[in-house]
Amino acid sequence: MRIVVLVSGTGSNLQAVIDAVKAGELDVEIAAVGADKHGTYGVERSAAAGIETFVVNFKDYADRGEWNHALTQKCLSYAPDYVVSSGFMRIVGQEFIDAFDGTYINTHPALLPSFPGAHGVRDALAYGVKVTGCTVHIADAGVDTGPILAQKAVEVLPDDTEETLHERIKVEERALLIETLRRLAVQAAN
Ligand code: GRF
């Protein structure tokens, strides 16, 4: 199974996938890692791991539609079975969703459909929930919407900050992403 991974940030979830592949624990080929801006650590660490990288810089395009078209074409050029958004902080357009219909996977640091959006951890904490978690799902054109593949609950501790809670969620999020990719890879092989 071939995947393209999209990142906007540090790519620590991606690093867990890279490590699992290297350790022979995940039968997946990371065809490329792409970002929506220059200078992300996610791209840097992928290049260091010998993975092909690309940037489709949002700011280089006249509008969202043109950027979305370029991103779609770039991802299609790797003929991936799945595209994985791992901390990719841009909403893709319908052209992308149509090109990767049912094969665009997103991870989110909350138990969807609760707390979608860019601040899922902060919003859960502000609401005062005692349990939150992470979700791996097939992404559609909405913000963190689409069929759920897997979820894991994480307890909110009394003195949690956004940072401490997010770190504990990310531990589960990494494991959940790897587990889900493993399941999809087995399905793809059969
Ligand atoms: C993850 O929790 C992801 O779900 C969220 O941002 C985090 C990405 O972290 N949108 P990293 O870039 O993998 O370190």
- Exposed (0-12), middle (13-18) or buried (19+): which is 98, by Cβ within 10 Å? exposed
Two tokens, residue 151 = 């979820």
> Is the minimum distance from the CB of 170 to ligand 1 under 6 angstroms?
yes
Ligand 1 atom, smallest distance to 174 CA: 13
13 known member of a binding site = yes
Q: Which residues contact 129 (CB under 8 A, 6 or more apart)?
A: 114, 156
Domain 2-189 matching CATH 3.40.50.2300: the answer reads no
> Is the minimum distance from the CB of 85 to ligand 1 under 6 angstroms?
no
Domain chopping of the chain, boundaries: 2-189
> In Å, how far are 4, 21, 43, 92 from 51, measured between CA atoms?
10, 12, 9, 23
Per-residue pLDDT tens listing for the chain (190 residues): 999 999 999 999 999 999 999 999 999 999 999 999 999 999 999 999 999 999 999 999 999 999 999 999 999 999 999 999 999 999 999 999 999 999 999 999 999 999 999 999 999 999 999 999 999 999 998 899 999 999 999 999 999 999 999 999 999 999 999 999 999 999 988 8
- Model pTM? 0.95
